[in-house]
Structure 1
């Protein structure tokens, strides 16, 4: 089972930390191991660099992308793709400050969610503190000056 938290980072933060994603990851990792007092400070830092989730937009885009699939179900803010023929299942929970994605089996279902999210905003940052995995859903293109 894989667990990801997805944050929508401010564009200037995303641009500044492109190529230095490990620094962002360590902020999220520190929060999981922090004392209650430290955790409150780290939560404020994370809130400062991230934007609230555009809940209605996310609901609409995910619903329009998957409503035609018989393997897709939705209940309030929980979206589920259960691709049993491919042994892949993913559940996306939309919350105010982040998204939580839980998946089992192969990666097809979680990838389908990631594809929809990356089209909405290029600044989604995924964090899996248990497996020490992290990254942008859509890598930010660097501006090259000639």
Structure 2
């Protein structure tokens, strides 16, 4: 009767089951866990050369877009972060170098976008001024 009752009651079945080998602590299991932790902790991270090269290219593009004129703070931040990334790479801290390269890339993209926006705003102002002058020449009353 007790066996039938254990079959129907999962809690009782769990209690009456003998402990499986997985639950015992053995030296082999401890060594295996330590080996896995050691291997994952010491896994080598490749140098982020490609990420730094892409960052440098994007900073160069920001300079071409005249970011130094329109958004100098964004360009300076991208360049400074790229410099710290290069220093981290030189000291073989590849994880930090990768993170800083990604941050510098984002800052360079921000500088590019800011420079493009400022250049477009400048073009719009120039066209608006040109339109005002044309209206005056035609004798029309436009915006002042």
TM-score normalised by the chain length of structure 2: 0.25
TM-score normalised by the chain length of structure 1: 0.25
- Structure 1 or 2: larger strand share? 1
| Larger Rg, first or second structure (1 or 2) | 2
Q: Which has the higher contact order (CA 8 A, sep 6+)?
A: 1
